[in-house]
Amino acid sequence: MVNVIRILATINSDASYVDSNITWTNNNEMTLRFETDEVKDILDKHGATSLDDIVYGEPLFDELMDYFADEMPYGVQKARTGMPDEWIVEHLDYLGFFKDEEISEEEQERANHIAKSQDRGEM
């Protein structure tokens, strides 16, 4: 979704102006693109419908790595202090993507088993 704001001021109508996430068009409209808009475009381009679609080494992962390169800590980018795929998934969750995604009963049972094992000190 792109947010559009109509501008009541007079601007030069013979040229477009682009600055970062703001685009001035020839018909006196200013288009604001937010991070969520750009990330949604990337996900849609690759047909991603769940977090499972983000696979290390696949084109979607590579494009998200390129997009988040300025935000992702250097150590995570190089997989020294964290994993880039985990950072991307966490950041997508932070941005509100795939919030309605349900996990299967099998996945929930596995997560419960792991949590119980950790509580008993087995892991």
Number of folded domains that form the chain: 2
73 and 85 part of one domain: yes
- pLDDT value at position 21? 61
Q: How many CB atoms lie within 10 A of CB 43?
A: 19
Do residues 65 and 27 share a domain?
Answer: no
Same domain, 21 and 55: no
Residue with tokens 């849609």: 44
pLDDT bracket for residue 18 (50, 70, 90): very low
- Examine the domain organization and report whether 27 and 44 are in the same domain: no
3-state SS, the chain, equals: CCEEEECCCCCCCCCCEEECCEEECCCCEEEECCHHHHHHHHHHHCCCCCHHHCCCCCHHHHHHHHHHCCCCCHHHHCCCCCCHHHHHHHHHHHHCCCCCCCCCHHHHHHHHHHHHHHHCCCC
Domain identity same for 52 and 69: yes
- Gyration radius of the chain's alpha carbons: 20
pLDDT in the model for residue 74: 94
Over residues 23-71, the pLDDT tens digits come to 666 666 766 778 888 999 999 999 998 888 988 889 999 999 999 999 9
Domain enclosing residue 12, as ranges: 3-32
Against a cut of 0.75, is the pTM above it?
no
4: pLDDT confidence band, cut at 50, 70 and 90?
Answer: very low
Q: Which residue has the tokens 């992702």?
A: 72
pLDDT tens per residue, range 60-105? 999 999 999 999 999 999 999 999 999 998 999 888 887 765 666 7
The predicted pLDDT at position 13 comes to 42
pLDDT value, residue 22: 64
